[in-house]
Structure 1
Amino acid sequence: MERPFSAADLDFLRQWDTPTVCNALEVAVPARRGRGFSVLPFVVANNALSPICGLARVGSIRAAAPSGRSREEDRAARIGWYGYVGDAEMPTVVVIEDLDEHPGTGAFWGEVNTAVHKALGALGCVTNGSIRDLDMVAPEFQLLAGSVGPSHAHVHIVDYGREVEVHGMHCSHDDVVHADRHGAVVIPPDAVRRLPEAIELVARREKVVLDLCRSSNFSVEALRDALNRMDEIH
């Protein structure tokens, strides 16, 4: 599939945190300023990990009650999901929506599934569901979750490949997702290669105010002038 970006472009974006990427999107894609990102806090498995950026693999789960399918059918659904996640020419970010009335009743993510998904080429997961086995998560695999819990209960795959919503962020198959300890954002494909330039522009604008705040010349009047100068930087 022809894309307006490469795997190297996605990897390049990992040097910046997700708030910086959101700032750049406000410049590169102004119409996206109020949407496309998570709006609720996450529990993060490892705050020290670098940001992740990859193609979305989307799915939904439930855990509060059995699926109603046979064991063989549940196993087939799980294997189908794994095949779906692994069918990608670039690194992926898994985005899973927990559909239970109380999301997080059972954890899909723990020692085993982080190891499996890392082997399938995923960098991490964004979910409103729960996670567990925090000391045994696959190395360098990031988890952003709605909660931490001890059990997987009746967790099972409901569907995959269809649009999901996690903490206010709508995400579809093959969307570009950037995430870190602050949250997650979907990047329009045609904006991927424009973000580094936008990030540099935002940094130059912010520097005007930051330099003033760190100087001995700070005043409200000087701040007003600095804010005006920011608007003149292109």
Structure 2
Amino acid sequence: MSLMSLNGHPPKALEALRRFDTCALANAIERCNVRPRNEGFTSGSANCQFPHFPPMVGYAVTGRIQTYMPPMTGKCYYDHKEWWEYLVQIPAPRVVVLQDFDNRPGFGAIFGEVHARICKAFDCVGYVTNGAVRDLDGVERTGIQMFAGNLSVSHAYAHVVDFGEAVEIGGLRIEPGDILHGDRHGILSIPNQLVERLPSLAERIRLEEEELFDLTEGPEFSVEALGAKLQQFAERQ
């Protein structure tokens, strides 16, 4: 995706997505048949570090890192001027996504409290990696969500190798500017064309589920009643 084409959606559109968890939005995306059901979300290697946080929604800022193999190219991540110049070209709110492609991913952590505070000042709301993170207490105080494969006590040889291209985290291919929604269940990529449609569809599905729950808790629940209700839902789609 060209950076020139990244103008972003109205803030209220992303805020509407934050009212729902990833599962609810995944259900809504499935109804739209815009992609295969086995694509568009992470599966392993990116675990939510603060499951009590509300959903994270933002535009992906992508890069690749190494933490085990020296030598470092340049100084550490926060001294990488070109990286920060690239980051601010992506619309806010931003989610930093760094794939650790070393032969020992997650050996060291590039993201901790210092980087979280810098990213917070740059309107970032989350960090996603298949590698490691650290400084959990300090990062938690910033309000930035983190998804990671593991924890590490050290930076080791952490450094940014390149940025601005597609990366892959937990089986999810992420392009610069992709809209990511994340919570304790994992990370979901939101199709750009569905951003403003998904909240109303997710709410409709939630109401259908409430109907089903009411049926299961009532005296008239039976195989026949369940079949009739599910048929009713199918006819509404």
TM-score by length of 2: 0.89
Q: CA RMSD in A?
A: 2.1
Q: Could you say which residue in structure 2 is the equivalent of 1:92?
A: 94
Deviates more, 1:218-227 or 1:97-106: 218-227
SS in 2 for 1:67: coil
Question: Which of 127, 138, 143 is 1:140 aligned to?
Answer: 143
Query: Is the CA contact 2:77–2:110 (under 8 Å) kept in the aligned structure 1?
Result: no
Question: Secondary structure of 1:31's partner?
Answer: coil
Matched, 1:31 2:31: no
Report the counterpart of residue 181 of structure 1 in structure 2: 184
Deviation per CA, 1:170-212: give whole Å up to 9, x if none.
1001111111111111112111011012112212332332111
How far 1:4 moved relative to its partner? Answer: 7.5
Q: Does structure 2 retain, via aligned residues, the 8 Å contact 1:37–1:184? A: yes
Inter-partner Cα distance in structure 1 for 2:49 and 2:155: 17
**Correspondence list, 1:86-165, <5 A:** 86-137=88-139, 138-165=141-168
Q: Which runs of 5+ in 2 are unaligned?
A: none
* TM-aligned CA distance change 1:228 to 1:75, over 3 Å: closer
Moved more, 220-229 or 117-126: 220-229
TM-score under structure 1 normalisation?
A: 0.90
1:49 aligns with 2:78: no
Give the match for residue 220 of structure 1.
223
Once the two structures are superposed, residues 90-143 of structure 1 have per-residue CA deviations (whole angstroms, 9 ceiling, x without a partner) of 211111111022321011111111111111111011111111111111421100
**Would the alpha carbon gap of residues 221 and 76 (structure 1) be closer, same or farther in structure 2, given more than 3 Å must change?**
closer
Deviations 1:37-84 (A, max 9, x none): 111164322211111111110111011111353x45x67972221222
Cα distance in 2 for residues equivalent to 1:220 and 1:41: 40
Q: CA deviation at 1:219?
A: 2.4
Q: Distance in 2 between matches of 1:14 and 1:111?
A: 24
SS at match of 1:15: coil
Mapped partners of 2:200, 2:234: distance in 1:
17
- 8 Å Cα contact 1:50-1:180 kept in structure 2: yes
What is the alpha-carbon distance in structure 1 between the residues aligned to residue 82 and residue 45 of structure 2? 30
Give me the identity figure in percent.
35
Match of 1:229 among 221, 228, 232: 232
Partner of 1:169: 172
Shift of 1:10: 1.0
Q: Is the 8 A contact 2:6 2:91 kept in 1?
A: no
